[in-house]
A and B are shown apart, each in its own frame.
Chain A
Amino acid sequence: MRVKYVLSEVLVGLWRNVTMSIAMIITMAVSLTMLGASGLMYRQVDDMKDLYYKNIQVSIFMEQEVSEQQRTDLQTKLDSDPLVKEVIYVDKAQAYERFKSMYQDAPDLVNAVKPDQLPESFRLTLNNPEQYKSVYDQYKDTEGVEEIVDQSRLLDKIFNILTAIQNIALAAAIVMAVAALLLVANTIQVAAYSKRREVAVMKLVGASNWFIQAPFVLEAVVAGLIGSLLGLVALVAAKYLLFDGSLSALQGLLSPITWGDILFIFPLMAGVGGLVSAGTAWITLRFYLRV
C-alpha cells in the first residue's frame, strides 16, 4: 500500500502543477541532450584522432632541379633517422599518377598539368606523429628541399573546431542544468506548499521522514527520467536527420555514430538527470519542510 500511495502521490504531484512540470521536464531534456551530445562528441573525437593520426604522413617535396646526389643524400639520411618509421619515394611519374586519380573528375586540370611539373617527394610515416616539428627543423634547410608539409597541422585545426563544439555543448548543458535545477527547486517548493496540511498532519502523527519526503523526491526523479528519455529521443532524431541525412556527405570524414554509442550514453543521461533532480529536491525539502 505504501508503494502504491507514494506512486499515486508522485503522479498527482506532477499533474497538479502541470505547466511547471512540463517546464521542468523540457529544460531537463535540453540539458541532458546537450550533455549526451557532448559525450558522443568526446568519443567521436577520440575515435577520429586514433584513426587519422595513425595514417598521418609528412611529405618532403623536392625542388624541380634537384640533383641525383642531393636526392640520394636525403634518402640515406631519412633511412637512418630514428624518428622516421617508413620512407616512400614518389618520383614525378608516380606523382602524376596520383594526381590523375585524385582529380579524375576534373579532366581539364589533369590535361593542363604535365608529369614533370609535379615535384618528386618523400612520404614519411613517423614513429610518433607529434614529433613532426623536429623532423621539419631537421630537413627544412637541406639542399634540394622545396617544402615540408605535415597533414597533422590541418587535422589539428579540425580537431580544435570539434573540441570547441564539444565544449560549447557542455557549457550549454551546464547552463541548462542550472535552469533545470532552479525549476526543480521551485516545483518542489510549490508542491510542498500545496501539501502543507498533509505534511503537518503526517509530522504530527509520526510518519517517518522518508515517507513524507519520498513523494516529493520521486516527483523530481520521475521528471528527470522523463527528461532524459526525451533527450534520448532528441539524440536519435539528430542521428537520423543530421548524420544519416543532411550531413551524410561528411560520412567519410566523420567516424560514424552508431546506435550503440547512443544507447551507451543514455544511462549517463538518465543517471545524471535522476541524481541531480533527487539531490535538488532533497536539499530543497531540508530547507522548506524541516522534517
Chain B
Amino acid sequence: MTKTYPKASRPSLDNVSVSIEKGEFVFFIGPSGSGKSTIIKMLLHEVAPNKGRVVVNGKDVTSMRSWKRPHFRRSIGCVFQDFRLLPNRTAYENVAFALEVIGKTKAVARRVVPEVLELVGLGGKEHRYPHELSGGEQQRVAVARAFVNRPLILLADEPTGNLDPDTSIEIMRLLDRINRTGTTVVMVTHDSNIVNQMRRRVVEIESGRIVRDQARGVYG
C-alpha cells in the first residue's frame, strides 16, 4: 500500500506490503519520519491509503465507512508513549472507563477490572491516581486499559519511549505475556536494547520502504 500525505514531497509509505499473522509479535523499527506511525494509523482506520488495501482481522477496512469505526476499534487495544490516562481518575476508574463507554455495565467492570490490574502487576494500587504512580506503573494501567476488552490486536506506539531501561523491560515482559494469550502485538519502537533482547520478528522501514523483514531479528 501507498500513503502520501497532502503537501508531502514523497510518500510516507511507498508500496509497502506486510502481512502479520494472528498471534505474532512484530516490531516496526526505523528512524523518525520513516512511516512507522502511519502504519499504526492505518490499522486504526485513522488514515486510509491512497493505493492498496488494509485488511484487519480478515476484514478489508480500506473503504470502511467512518460510522463503523467505533465498533471496529473495540477489537484493537492501543498503548502510547505518553500513556494517555485520565488524570482525575484512579487506575481502576481509568480501566473501567474504557469498558463503560463501550456499553459494558458496572457489574462487568467490577469483575473484570481487578483481574486485569492484577495481571499487569498493579494489584493493590487500584485506587491510586496517575500522578501517584511511577511512569512504569502508569504504562501498566494503559496496557490494562488496552487489554481489558480482550482485543485481538494490541498496537503499541513506542510504549517504552518515556521509561528507563529496567522499567521498559518489565513492560516488555508484560506485552510478551499478553502475546502468549494469543493476542497479536504490533509494536513501533526506537529502543534497540529491547528489540535485541526479545528476538522477535523485526520489520525495518526507511523512507517509507521496507528494507528488512526478519524473523527473530535484532535492531541492526
B84 x A205 contact (CB < 8 A): no
Q: Nearest Cβ distance between residue A207 and chain B, in whole angstroms?
A: 4
Residue interface bits B94-129, CB-to-A below 8 A is 1, else 0:
000110111101100000000000000000000000
Q: Nearest Cβ distance between residue B177 and chain A, in whole angstroms?
A: 21
Residue interface bits A169-206, CB-to-B below 8 A is 1, else 0:
00000000000000000000000000001101111111
A201 x B102 contact (CB < 8 A): no
Closest B residue by C-beta to A207 = B101
B53 within 8 A of A: no
Q: Nearest Cβ distance between residue A77 and chain B, in whole angstroms?
A: 78
A5 x B100 contact (CB < 8 A): yes
- A5–B100 Cα distance when bound, in Å, is 9
Among B67, B73, B84, which residue has its beta carbon within 8 angstroms of that of A206? B73
A209 x B67 contact (CB < 8 A): yes
| B97 cross-chain contacts in A, Cβ below 8 A | 198, 201
A208 within 8 A of B: yes
A206 x B86 contact (CB < 8 A): no
| B84 cross-chain contacts in A, Cβ below 8 A | 197, 200-201, 204
Among A2, A201, A203, which residue has its beta carbon within 8 angstroms of that of B103? A2
| A211 cross-chain contacts in B, Cβ below 8 A | 101, 103
Q: Nearest Cβ distance between residue A274 and chain B, in whole angstroms?
A: 25
Given known contacts A1-B100, A211-B101, A205 and B74 CB-to-CB distance under 8 angstroms: yes
Closest A residue by C-beta to B76 = A206
Q: Which of B70, B84, B98, B145 has the most CB of A within 10 A?
A: B70
| B70 cross-chain contacts in A, Cβ below 8 A | 203, 206-209
Q: Nearest Cβ distance between residue B122 and chain A, in whole angstroms?
A: 18
Given known contacts A200-B84, A201-B86, A206 and B100 CB-to-CB distance under 8 angstroms: no
Closest A residue by C-beta to B44 = A204
Closest B residue by C-beta to A4 = B106
Interface residue count on the B side (C-beta < 8 Å): 22
B168 within 8 A of A: no
- A2–B76 Cα distance when bound, in Å, is 22
Q: Nearest Cβ distance between residue B85 and chain A, in whole angstroms?
A: 8
B131 within 8 A of A: no
Q: Nearest Cβ distance between residue B89 and chain A, in whole angstroms?
A: 9
A1 x B105 contact (CB < 8 A): yes
| B69 cross-chain contacts in A, Cβ below 8 A | 206
B74 x A198 contact (CB < 8 A): no
B7 within 8 A of A: no
B86 x A197 contact (CB < 8 A): yes
B149 within 8 A of A: yes
Among B67, B102, B105, B106, which residue has its beta carbon within 8 angstroms of that of A205? B102
| B72 cross-chain contacts in A, Cβ below 8 A | 206
- A200–B97 Cα distance when bound, in Å, is 12
B67 x A202 contact (CB < 8 A): no
Residue interface bits B19-46, CB-to-A below 8 A is 1, else 0:
0000000000000000000000000000
| A206 cross-chain contacts in B, Cβ below 8 A | 69-74, 76, 102
A1 x B106 contact (CB < 8 A): yes
Q: Nearest Cβ distance between residue A201 and chain B, in whole angstroms?
A: 6
Q: Nearest Cβ distance between residue B42 and chain A, in whole angstroms?
A: 15
B78 within 8 A of A: yes
- A208–B86 Cα distance when bound, in Å, is 19
| A209 cross-chain contacts in B, Cβ below 8 A | 67, 70
- Mark out the residues of chain B between 119 and 164 whose CB falls within 8 Å of any chain A CB in the assembled complex: 145, 149
B105 x A204 contact (CB < 8 A): no
| A198 cross-chain contacts in B, Cβ below 8 A | 86, 97
Q: Nearest Cβ distance between residue A30 and chain B, in whole angstroms?
A: 36
Residues of B within 8 A of A (CB): 67, 69-74, 76, 78, 84, 86-87, 97-98, 100-103, 105-106, 145, 149
Residues of A within 8 A of B (CB): 1-2, 5, 197-198, 200-209, 211-212
Known: A202-B101, A203-B73. 17 other contacts (CB 8 A): A1-B100, A1-B106, A197-B86, A200-B84, A201-B97, A201-B98, A201-B101, A204-B84, A205-B73, A206-B70, A206-B74, A207-B101, A208-B71, A208-B103, A209-B67, A209-B70, A212-B101
- What are 27 pairs between A and B in contact, CB < 8 Å? A1-B100, A1-B105, A1-B106, A2-B100, A2-B103, A197-B86, A197-B87, A198-B97, A200-B84, A201-B84, A201-B86, A201-B98, A201-B145, A202-B101, A204-B78, A205-B73, A205-B74, A205-B78, A205-B98, A206-B71, A206-B72, A206-B73, A206-B76, A208-B70, A209-B67, A209-B70, A211-B103
Per CB-CB distance, the 9 closest pairs between chain A and chain B, nearest first, are A206-B73, A206-B74, A207-B101, A205-B98, A206-B70, A208-B70, A202-B101, A204-B78, A1-B106
